[in-house]
Copies of this chain bind each other. A is one copy, B any other.
Amino acid sequence: MKITIQDIANAANVAKSTVSKVINDSPKISGETKRKIREIMKEMNFTPSSIATRLAKQSSFNIGLLFDMSQDKDYLDPFFYNIMVGIESVIGPLKYEMTMANVHHNDPDRHFLKRLVLSRRIDGLIGNNANLTNEAAAKLEELRFPFVLMGEYDAFPVSWVDFDNAEGGRMLTGHLLEQGYRDIAFIGGEREERLFENRHRGYSDSLRAAGLPISAERTFHGIADDSHGYESVLSMLRSAPGERPDAIVCMSNQVAFGALRAAKEAGVQIPNELGIATFDDFPFSPHTSPPLTSLLIDTFKLGSAAADMLIERISYPELPRRNLLLQPELIVRESTARA
């Protein structure tokens, strides 16, 4: 049998409004009454219905985390859990819950805007620039609904958090230069792709600062996956030994895996003949042979920073949109440890 605030009121011989005030620890209720009612609530094992509370309070105390089931998930997949835990670490203590929001871009009836936002099931939303379309973002802004993106966004001003990808490019390239590499290639990423452009800019900056030439043929465009890494390295190995790159910066771990495989098959010595450094630090990076020098991004922190920003937006809707760049961390391993 379900027990409600009214049952408690009856048992305590008070009005249910009094019980409600006790639940919310109102200062207008005497200590004695509070004690008595609280005891009764324990005894009767009462927990308020959150749904009724929310209806009355007109707030769902719930935030949504966007994902797109229909989409390729290679990139965020291994990081998803950490991001989620990062978000929980900030919203949990504030009594918010988190519900998973599958976008359903193609089904107007199940689209998250309707299912979760318009139906007021959530008070705020965290997404990323891959699963939130410009159209949806615009709609959210129009509704003045609080949301934060993970990943840079520049179609119009919204709140976002991202890692400093340009700085990451500088860190990887700078490290290779310090190790004495002089002819550094960059593998992966499509032209016009924002993520690529930022990372590549950092790479170029470093070369320029070192007074080295930046040659277009040292950049291998393509989808940042294993086979692109593999093919790119094979193609650079077709040049004579003296004319090929002595190190590479990879857009992703997948690219690096492919590059590693190609180099190994061709008998190229890593790190002596070819240094390899890569963006992203998958849990597997330490297990390649040789282990990969890579750029660690703290995904827990990505989540918690996004959540902090979202809570701020929910609490102070009129504050301007903020952006935040988190710093990556260089993890040096053997793949760049030149003798």
Contacts and interface: CB of A to CB of B under 8 A. Distances in A.
Interface in A76-133: 76-78, 80-82, 84-85, 88-89, 92, 97-100, 102, 104, 110, 114-116, 118-121
A175 interface: no
A339 interface: no
A69 B55 CA distance: 29
Interface residues of A, number: 51
Contact of A119 (B50, B62, B80): B50
Integer count of this chain's copies in the complex: 2
Given A55-B51, A289-B289, A88 B100 contact: yes
A6 interface: no
A230 B73 CA distance: 32
Nearest to A258: B287
A21 interface: no
A205 to B, nearest CB: 31
Interface of A: 45, 47-52, 54-55, 60, 62, 65, 67, 69, 73, 76-78, 80-82, 84-85, 88-89, 92, 97-100, 102, 104, 110, 114-116, 118-121, 226, 257, 260-261, 264, 282-284, 287-289
